[in-house]
Structure 1
Amino acid sequence: MASSGNNRPRHANSPFAAHVEPDVEDFALADRVCHDTYGMGRVVGVDKSGLTVDFGSSTRRIETPFRKMTKL
Structure 2
Amino acid sequence: MTKSAGSRRHLPSSPFNRPPLEEPPIECYEAGDRVSHDQFGLGRVLAVEGDNAAVLVDFSGRQGRILSPFSKLAKL
Normalising by structure 1, we get a TM-score of: 0.69
Give the Cα–Cα distance (whole angstroms) in 2 for the partners of residues 71 and 54 of structure 1: 14
**RMSD between aligned residues:** 1.9
Q: What count of residue pairs does the alignment treat as equivalent?
A: 59
Deviation for aligned residue 1:25: 0.7
User: What is the aligned-residue identity percentage?
Assistant: 41
Q: What SS class does the counterpart of residue 51 from structure 1 fall into? A: strand
Q: SS state of the match for residue 47, structure 2?
A: strand
The answer to whether 1:52 aligns with 2:63 is no
Deviant stretches of 4+, over 3 Å: none
Distance 2:62 2:68 in 1: 19
Which sections of structure 1, spanning at least 5 residues, go unmatched? 1-14
Amino acid at match of 1:34: S
